[in-house]
Amino acid sequence: MSERGEEEKDRGFVVIDRRSSASGSEDEPAPAPRAQAQAAPPPRTAPRVDFAVLVHSFFVTALYHLGAAPDPETGRTATPNPALARQNIDILELIEEKTRGNLTPDEAGLLEGLLYEARMRFVEATKPPGE
């Protein structure tokens, strides 16, 4: 690689904001934002992605749409939306169908248990009042 190519690679890139600044000059870069008084909270690390995390994600999303699980960010429960809950249960059923015979016994048991629980909660949540 040429010397110039390596030099450009090490330098990265530079962004210059040419939007109108407070002084009205478009040639001056916009001032950098001031540091906040409080440091931002450290970023959360996502869990390692494996089969269990995948199926739990659809399960919890189904419960959320049934109004049975809170939003992890806000702690609030959603207005029940059975159609979206059913869609997530359908996805779990599709995963079960397409992975049949290719899962470990633990993975198959987990998926079977989550599907059972999601279906029962769906039936309970969509049962007409008074039954």
Burial class (CB in 10 A: 0-12, 13-18, 19+), 11: exposed
Find the mean pLDDT for residues 99-116. Answer: 97
Find the mean pLDDT for residues 58-87. Answer: 92
User: What is the predicted pLDDT for the residue at 129?
Assistant: 84
Q: What is the mean pLDDT of the chain?
A: 81
- Assigned domain for 4 exists: no
Q: Which domain holds residue 62?
A: 51-126
- Assigned domain for 73 exists: yes
Of 52, 54, 74, 78, the closest CA to residue 65 belongs to: 78
- Assigned domain for 79 exists: yes
Find the mean pLDDT for residues 48-67. Answer: 94
- Assigned domain for 13 exists: no
Find the mean pLDDT for residues 54-76. Answer: 91
- Separation CA 48–CA 51 (nearest Å): 10
Per the structure, the count of domains in the chain is 1
- The CA-based angle 101-102-108, given to 5 degrees, is 75
Total-model pTM: 0.63
Is the CB of residue 89 less than 8 Å from the CB of residue 65? no
User: What is the predicted pLDDT for the residue at 111?
Assistant: 98
Residue 50 has pLDDT above 60, yes or no: yes
13 falls in which pLDDT band (50, 70, 90)?
Answer: low
